């Protein structure tokens, strides 16, 4: 209140704007498990306005950091402002005949929209000292029109489709915060010089996203059930995966991280670090390993959940085939059996890709041939987009803004090596020598690539004998993996 004036003018400040939601792809992140555990992510709400015309502080922004190679797809969106704006257009009678315009106004000259806004009592706040009955007796003015933050113009167009294949220097805005409420000075009139009401802030936008990693891990462990993959993962990382003497101990991929630098502020002396500095890039400090569930014969026919397991192999940059030297089956035959399943799965994927490319593509006007029950974005992942049109052609509303399906390199073209486990068992030396001989023949082109592909990767095929349970022989695996990752 002003000095010497019993009841001064209204001085309630406006509410603070809500926080924004940003996304950024960085190299330090290796998985999406943290986001999955958090579930719903929210930016902070704005603070309430205060007396003496002091506005509320804005809410704290939310930064979502994801690994490089993350694909972001919008599943659904709820924008209350968009719905309110659409309702206003309906109340104004957009699309009606011009001769009906007179019906959009009351006798006192106020529009139907203003009358509708007047009765939105849920959007108003009364002075803290007011009684509850004041809500029914107060004569509220027309509710102000919805307000949006200017940052909305910098949001990606909806539906959001992002392919974050490179590290980002700056975060990208996903959703701007909602505007805060208006204080009582905004509603001063000649008849009401001291209004005791204010508006609530706008409701924020809610968006549901699907985050998907192009690469599940840097390295994927591929092998038969009970070949020692989980034990090897525990020997290389601090992962505490379940280990047992029965098949199918692992039913879902377990991801562990191998730290190459102890971060003790000492320069790394490894060969890969020296080579990285010579090439002018940052040396790699860690990499991730995925323990992929075991494959059985005819896994490409979905036996033993084989197709689900084989899909994870596509998401690894380097493949490590784990063979058991102590098994009755020859190590070379075991390796060929694993590659057979991988090769057959690759053929299935090629057939799906060829079938997809043969479908009609949208022309410059966004016209596509009508295909009922077909998703135009990504089958099985995105909802069917709304389309409008006549005849056999329909108009694709997201033509030109659709994100193509994940483009992954052929499995046979990825670097790979062999880890021969249980090499400490007596009588396994001869099996390992036969395995080395076979890999040398593959590398020199004397025998066919185990996948059956002419362009299969065979640049530097190696076999490493280990005893994972004793952590013997595993010391050289990280250096080999980093070499393959950098190449």
Using the 3D structure, point to which of 161, 190, 213 is the last residue of a domain: 213
Using the 3D structure, point to which of 174, 189, 213 is the last residue of a domain: 213
State the pLDDT at residue 207.
Answer: 92
- Domain of residue 125, residue span: 21-213
Q: Model confidence over 434-450: pLDDT tens digits?
A: 999 999 999 998 999 88
- CB of 219 closer than 8 Å to CB of 318: yes
81 and 225 inside one domain? no
Question: Is there a domain that residue 11 lies in?
Answer: no
113 and 201 inside one domain? yes
Tell me the average pLDDT across 318-322. Answer: 91
247 and 396 inside one domain? yes
182 and 274 inside one domain? no
Question: Is there a domain that residue 8 lies in?
Answer: no
231 and 192 inside one domain? no
Using the 3D structure, point to which of 161, 193, 213 is the last residue of a domain: 213
Confidence class of residue 397 from pLDDT cuts 50, 70 and 90?
very low
Show Cβ contacts of residue 123 under 8 Å, excluding neighbours closer than 6 positions: 143, 199, 200
Pairing of strands 172-175, 124-126: unpaired
Phi, psi of 122 (to 5 degrees): -70, -10
CATH at 443: 3.40.50.300
Q: Model confidence over 252-306: pLDDT tens digits?
A: 567 777 877 655 545 454 555 566 666 666 677 778 888 776 565 654 455 444 4
Q: Model confidence over 53-65: pLDDT tens digits?
A: 888 888 999 999 9
233 and 197 inside one domain? no
Is residue 112 scored above 50 in pLDDT? no
Q: pLDDT over 90 for what percent of the chain? A: 14
Name the burial class of residue 461, with classes exposed (0-12), middle (13-18) and buried (19+) by CB atoms within 10 angstroms of its CB. buried
Is residue 135 scored above 80 in pLDDT? no
Is residue 16 scored above 60 in pLDDT? yes
Cα atoms found within 13 Å of the Cα of residue 156, Cβ hemisphere only: 20
Strands (E), 68-171: 70-78, 124-126, 161-164
96 and 33 inside one domain? yes
Q: Model confidence over 405-433: pLDDT tens digits?
A: 556 678 888 999 999 988 888 888 999 99
pTM score, two decimals? 0.60
Q: How many domains in the chain?
A: 2
208 and 235 inside one domain? no
264 and 405 inside one domain? yes
Tell me the average pLDDT across 326-341. Answer: 87
CATH at 76: 2.70.210
Is residue 374 scored above 60 in pLDDT? no
């Amino acid at each position: 209140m002003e000095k010497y004036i019993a009841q001064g003018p209204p001085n309630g400040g406006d509410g603070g704007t809500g926080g924004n939601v940003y996304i950024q792809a960085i190299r330090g992140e290796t998985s999406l498990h943290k986001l999955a555990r958090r579930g719903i992510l929210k930016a902070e709400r704005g603070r309430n306005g205060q007396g003496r015309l002091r506005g509320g502080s804005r809410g704290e922004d939310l930064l979502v950091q994801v690994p490089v190679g993350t694909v972001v797809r919008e599943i659904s969106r709820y924008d209350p402002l968009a719905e309110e704006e659409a309702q206003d257009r309906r109340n104004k009678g957009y699309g009606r005949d011009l001769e009906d315009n007179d019906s959009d106004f009351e006798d006192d000259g106020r529009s139907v929209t203003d009358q509708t806004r007047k009765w939105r009592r849920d959007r108003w706040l009364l002075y803290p000292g007011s009684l509850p009955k004041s809500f029914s007796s107060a004569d509220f003015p027309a509710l102000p029109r919805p307000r949006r933050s200017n940052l909305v113009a910098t949001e990606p167009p909806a539906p959001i489709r992002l392919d974050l294949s490179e590290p980002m220097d700056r975060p990208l805005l996903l959703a701007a915060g909602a505007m805060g409420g208006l204080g009582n000075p905004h509603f001063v009139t000649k008849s009401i010089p001291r209004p005791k009401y204010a508006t609530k802030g706008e409701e924020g936008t809610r968006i549901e996203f699907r985050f998907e990693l192009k690469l599940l891990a840097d390295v994927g462990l591929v092998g038969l059930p009970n070949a020692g993959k989980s034990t090897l993962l525990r020997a290389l990382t601090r992962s505490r995966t379940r280990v047992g003497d029965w098949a199918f101990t692992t039913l879902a991929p377990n991801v562990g991280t191998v730290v190459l630098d102890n971060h003790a502020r000492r320069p790394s002396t490894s060969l890969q670090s020296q080579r990285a500095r010579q090439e002018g890039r940052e040396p790699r400090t860690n990499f991730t390993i995925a323990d992929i569930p075991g494959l059985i014969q005819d896994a490409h026919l979905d036996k033993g959940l084989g197709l689900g397991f084989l899909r994870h192999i596509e998401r690894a940059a380097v493949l490590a085939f784990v063979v058991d030297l102590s098994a009755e089956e020859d190590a070379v035959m075991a390796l060929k059996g694993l590659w057979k399943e991988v090769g057959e799965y690759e053929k299935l994927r090629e057939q799906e890709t060829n079938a997809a490319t043969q479908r009609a593509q949208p022309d410059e006007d966004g016209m596509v041939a009508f295909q009922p029950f077909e998703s135009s974005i990504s089958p099985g992942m995105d909802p069917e987009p709304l389309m409008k049109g006549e005849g056999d052609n329909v108009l694709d509303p997201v033509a030109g803004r659709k994100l193509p399906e994940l483009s992954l390199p052929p499995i046979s073209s990825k670097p790979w090596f062999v880890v021969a486990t249980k090499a400490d068992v007596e009588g396994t030396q001869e099996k390992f020598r036969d395995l080395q001989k076979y890999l040398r023949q593959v590398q020199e082109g004397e025998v066919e690539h185990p996948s059956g592909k002419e362009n299969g990767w065979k640049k530097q095929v190696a076999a490493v004998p280990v005893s994972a349970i004793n952590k013997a022989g595993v010391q050289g695996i990280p250096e080999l993996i980093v070499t393959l990752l950098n190449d």
